[in-house]
Structure 1
Amino acid sequence: MKNILIPILLAITAITSCEVYEQDDYEEFYVLESYLVANRQLPFVRLSTTIPALDFYDFEETAVSNALIEVHLLETGPESDIDQIFTYINSQQGIYISNQEHTVLPNRTYQIQINFPDSQDIITAHTVVPDTFSVLGGVQDSIVYQSSEQLEIRLSESSYPGRQNIFVFNAISQDPVPDKLTPFYADRYESSDQKEEDLEQFANNSSGIINEGNFEVNGDGSITVKYPWIGIAFFEENKIVANTLDDNIYDFVRSQQVQLGGSTLSPGEIQNVITNINGGIGVFGSVASDTVETFVKRPTL
């Protein structure tokens, strides 16, 4: 089955620039963004700075292109010695790529270290890469939308140190056009003032965070997910992608949801987004991922 990484995190800079902006005081922070994927090549690193909350954001205007970046594979955990060092080069404004080939190892710890030739600033972070897993089956080649036959996904057993797995599922339409929207999303689309933006969002429809404890555990240690119909935004060909998250992405996403209105707390009580970056803000995180395809049929009248 083909692995596809889903862009789980959106508008990091916009959110984090607001988080450090208080009244009339503003302090600039570095913003780091990079996501390792188990069994993939090392990812690019995106580096910029924050801007005041009310200023227009343009990545090229905030990009940092003079950094010295290394990613370290550690021997065991976060405090252990370095096993391997991978250096990065600036490929375009604010974007860095590794000049060495390396397949990201599951269940291992990676550390990023960023220095600057003209200052004493240093940025560090680490991530523990989730264990890999596979979609074992349970997904029908085709299924009738909202039929009594539930869309199910069976995932192989996997683990993450110190806690249950945390998942995000995405349904990605292969032809996201308005006349293929399922009824719930068609109604939202027709009443929307931002049709183009909404259609793009519906095309990659996220489940949000789901804890493994909510799933049915099978005798062989695998788990079965009953995929809700509300997660399907388009008829016909869809890719269903399962992602298991490291602590850094999990912390960012759950705290981001509060920032975006997923809480009953008043604005003065809402905590800042959790970023787990030393010397800056943003995300240096990791996921494991697997994908299957299904064809969602229109119900017969």
Structure 2
Amino acid sequence: MSKIAVVTGANSGLGLVTATELARQGMHVVMAVRNTAAGAEAARGIAGDVEVRELDLASLASVHAFAAKLAADHPAIDLLVNNAGAVLLGPRRTTADGFELHLGTNMLGHFALTGLLLGNLAAAPAARVVSLSSITHKNAHLDFDDLMFERGYRASPAYGRSKLATTVFGFELDRRLRATGSPVISTLAHPGLTRTNLTPRAWEHQGRRGRIIARAGLLMTQSVEQGTQPQLRAATGPGVRGGQFFGPAGWWETRGPVTEAKASREATDPAVGKRLWTVAEELTGVSYR
């Protein structure tokens, strides 16, 4: 029987390359996408065993519906790649549940999804959860007094905050899985600076380091295929341990071969992880207990 892999945001970019490679390796890949028409079009180009299912991470109702049907159809899930992400460059927007869109989609939606599927993941012999971080997390800070960026909103810092929250989640999930003796492991990855038309603009407000990278533009980026390698290592690499974080080895972790990445101090702080976890459970109504 084929292993079951779930990839969110699998209809384009990093998610599509990930889904394609996992299918090539013989996995049955569930392409979890907001736009099923786009997902079906992308699936036609994949040589392998794939299915397309609707998932809008900006709606907890959609997350619950997706997880319930998937859990019933696939009692054991071997891999969950939390890849999908919102990247906005305009005014502040919110999810269906009133969360700031970056945080609600990139972290809270995946937090709820992972919790709802944890029993199915634990039913597989050696399941993995991969959380997709970003180097923008290094310049971000979680302001728990204004987590939803209701004051002084700017899109790029809000994105960075959501990726810091995602990174904190990945490390805290690892700590909790270890503490309970779960067979599931939590790993993390970031793609460096991949070659998309949004990349330079998305970095403009990430501080001095980000502005330098933005000005370097496309010369500093790598292809989506190269950018996908860290999350593929986290997802399928032999000997990977819980809590390992992979990214590019090159300049400022923007590009290059895969290596173990360095997370910010805040991202790995157990106190921050515990606090964010409590907030996430309260906001989403999903408990991992």
Q: Which structure: greater strand fraction?
A: 1
Structure scoring higher RCO (CA < 8 A, sep ≥ 6) equals 1
Q: Which structure: greater helix fraction?
A: 2
TM-score under structure 2 length normalisation? 0.27
TM-score under structure 1 length normalisation? 0.26
